[in-house]
Amino acid sequence: MPPPCSIDTLVIGAGLAGLSCAHHLDRPFLVVEAADHVGGKAKSEHYEGFTFDVTGHWLHLRDPDMRALALKLCGDEHFMRIRRLSRIWSHGVYTRYPYQANTFGLPPEVIKECVMGAVEADRRRPEAVALEDEPENFADWIRFYFGEGIARHFMIPYNAKLWGVPATEITSRWCQRFVPRPALADIVAGAVGCNEKAMGYNAEFLYPRTGGIQTLAEALADAVGRDHIRLSSPIARVDPVAKVATTADGADIGYRHLVSTMQLPHLIDRLTEVPAAVRAARSKLRGNTVRYLNVGVRGPLGQPDHWIYVPEEKWPFYRVGSFSNANPAMAPEGCAALYIEMADRDTPLDDLRGTIGEGLCAMGLIDDPARILFMHERVIDNAYVIYDFDYHDSRAAILDHLGPIGIQSIGRYGDWNYSSMEDALIDGRRAAEALARTEATR
Ligand SMILES: Cc1cc2nc3c(=O)[nH]c(=O)nc-3n(C[C@H](O)[C@H](O)[C@H](O)COP(=O)(O)OP(=O)(O)OC[C@H]3O[C@@H](n4cnc5c(N)ncnc54)[C@H](O)[C@@H]3O)c2cc1C
């Protein structure tokens, strides 16, 4: 007998991927969400007139359909168009992003080491390198393309701080899209201060005028229809044979199709039956922990950046960003809203406050630590999936198992990858289209 509640398509998760899937579906559906709000990682917190996202959540929309969707949902006028202002702070000076093409301004011996390393790497590298011939290990890949100096002064320490694991444990395959690879001529031009090119995947972004990034998810949820979204309903069990998902409070929901955006390892943990090989693959999936601080500051900031990379090991954070530099409405009048992403994931915050204040002053963001009004600590588990050497086979073994049992696992965490909000929106649309095709061929 089917359970009392049955639905054609059950979508787990009301983050951007789940909501986008629901929005694009042409059949009856229900979205179940563990949290008491929509948005997933694209959520915003409000505190005493400050608004904070889950660290920087800047919207880069390249796909014309997704751009049109976001503008239609929120209203064109809701978004500010912002030209990225991000720099790197090391050796006590600011240089432009990306480091590899902008070493001008650093101490001369550092510039020399970076340029000589890049020249040497260029000399050693064959003219054309097929993807499969690139070094597999990320540390080797960095040296292969940028040389020893850029590796030592930025790429290796910065990535170790961000990922929380050494670059030798990571494969290079994650980074093709995200790490700009300037030509040698651009590296040299950047070393002498005449590189005018804006490089990288995120030279411009959109940001809501009010309410933070969650306003995008809220607008999407409105379009989906709130009656179709059940909040505070974590799925605790999925029986893919009976096609029943059960919430933590014991409610059974029968479905014909299941689209899950929950974290891939968590989905496997909730399946009633899992082959040993899939369980083994699941145990090899790794993600890092991001520990970050929402920081309120009295008075204006001394730097205009939206975010600043901090590669040096002596500082316990790897990136400092400012919501209010992008949009002043994110902080009360006369104040600024910062986020600080921590490389030190363990030391109690109280033991780090002094160094953090000192760092913000050294960076010229504030002139006195007493201007820090509050620091609120937050932690995200599995914030970035780790592309280690087991990653591809383990992920493939799991996804290959899920397809035939009728589960589409999508989104940044369902598909277990490094992707953006736009990718989540695209994933959702793609899942809905796949279901439409399945039905059409029945
Ligand atoms: C630190 C950080 C910074 C980022 N910065 C940017 C940026 O600047 N620009 C950008 O484009 N992207 C950024 N991203 C990526 C962006 O956040 C994600 O790509 C996107 O929000 C993922 O959406 P999603 O729906 O796939 O996943 P999620 O947002 O994680 O949504 C999944 C949903 O499933 C729910 N769920 C989980 N388990 C269950 C369960 N058992 N039952 C029911 N519901 C469940 C969760 O509560 C959540 O709401 C960043 C990500 C991080 C971690």
How does pLDDT run across 241-296, given as a tens digit for each residue?
999 999 999 999 999 999 999 999 999 999 999 999 999 999 999 999 999 999 99
* Residue 39, pLDDT score: 98
Q: Cα(357)–Cα(369) distance, rounded to whole angstroms? A: 5
- What is this structure's pTM? 0.95
Cα-Cα-Cα-Cα dihedral of 248, 250, 255, 258, to 10°?
A: 10
Beta strands 5-12; 235-239: pairing state: unpaired
The 3-state secondary structure of 311-359 reads CCCCCCEEEEEEHHHHCHHHCCCCEEEEEEEECCCCCCHHHHHHHHHHH
Which of 175-189, 262-276, 300-314, 382-396 comes out lowest in average pLDDT?
A: 175-189
19 Cα nearest atom in ligand 1: 25
Give the whole-number percent of the chain exceeding pLDDT 90: 90
* Residue 122, pLDDT score: 95
Q: What is the pLDDT of residues 365-381, one digit of tens each?
A: 999 999 999 999 999 99
98 lines ligand 1 (CB under 6 A): no
With b for 16 or more beta-carbon neighbours within 10 A and e for fewer, the 330-347 pattern comes to bbbeebbbbbbbbbbeee
Which of 9-23, 166-180, 287-301, 393-407 comes out lowest in average pLDDT?
A: 166-180
* Residue 200, pLDDT score: 52
How many angstroms separate the alpha carbon of residue 107 from the centre of ligand 1?
40
* Residue 179, pLDDT score: 81
Q: What is the rounded average pLDDT of the residues 390-408? A: 97
Q: Cα(304)–Cα(267) distance, rounded to whole angstroms? A: 42
CB 321 within 8 A of CB 56: yes
Q: Cα(228)–Cα(244) distance, rounded to whole angstroms? A: 18
CA-based nearest residue to 328, from 320, 336, 317: 336
Tokens of 208: 């809501």
441 falls in which pLDDT band (50, 70, 90)? low
197 falls in which pLDDT band (50, 70, 90)? low
* Residue 131, pLDDT score: 83
419 lines ligand 1 (CB under 6 A): yes
Higher-confidence position of 240 and 193: 240
* Residue 66, pLDDT score: 96
Continuous segment of H or E residues that includes residue 161: helix 156-163
Pocket-testing residue among 59, 415, 420, ligand 1, by greatest number of atoms within 8 A of Cβ: 420
Q: How many residues comprise the chain?
A: 442
340 lines ligand 1 (CB under 6 A): no
180 falls in which pLDDT band (50, 70, 90)? confident
Q: What is the pLDDT of residues 81-121, one digit of tens each?
A: 999 999 999 999 999 988 999 999 999 999 999 999 999 99
Continuous segment of H or E residues that includes residue 71: helix 64-74
Tell me the average pLDDT of the chain: 95
* Residue 128, pLDDT score: 85
How many angstroms separate the alpha carbon of residue 418 from the centre of ligand 1?
11
339 lines ligand 1 (CB under 6 A): no
CA 260, chain centre distance (Å): 19
Q: What is the rounded average pLDDT of the residues 11-36? A: 98
How many angstroms separate the alpha carbon of residue 215 from the centre of ligand 1?
14
Tabulate helix, strand, coil % of the chain (nearest 5).
Answer: 40, 25, 35
* Residue 127, pLDDT score: 84
424 lines ligand 1 (CB under 6 A): yes
12 lines ligand 1 (CB under 6 A): yes
Tokens of 136: 């597999």
Q: What is the rounded average pLDDT of the residues 184-195? A: 90
300 falls in which pLDDT band (50, 70, 90)? very high
Which of 178-192, 300-314, 425-439 comes out lowest in average pLDDT?
A: 178-192
Q: What is the pLDDT of residues 137-154, one digit of tens each?
A: 999 999 999 999 999 999
352 lines ligand 1 (CB under 6 A): no
Q: Cα(51)–Cα(328) distance, rounded to whole angstroms? A: 10
For each of the domains in the chain, give its residue range(s) and CATH number, in order of start.
5-41+213-286+387-440 (3.50.50.60), 58-62+72-97+200-210+289-381 (3.90.660.20), 98-191 (no CATH)
Is residue 403 pLDDT above 70, yes or no? Answer: yes
The residues, ordered by sequence, that sit 6+ positions from 179 with a Cβ below 8 Å of its Cβ are: 98
Q: Cα(229)–Cα(10) distance, rounded to whole angstroms? A: 10
Q: What is the pLDDT of residues 49-76, one digit of tens each?
A: 999 999 999 999 999 999 999 999 999 9
* Residue 361, pLDDT score: 98
Q: Cα(97)–Cα(380) distance, rounded to whole angstroms? A: 26
How many angstroms separate the alpha carbon of residue 287 from the centre of ligand 1?
13
Q: What is the pLDDT of residues 239-252, one digit of tens each?
A: 999 999 999 999 99
Pocket-testing residue among 412, 426, 430, ligand 1, by greatest number of atoms within 8 A of Cβ: 412
Q: What is the rounded average pLDDT of the residues 7-23? A: 98
* Residue 173, pLDDT score: 79
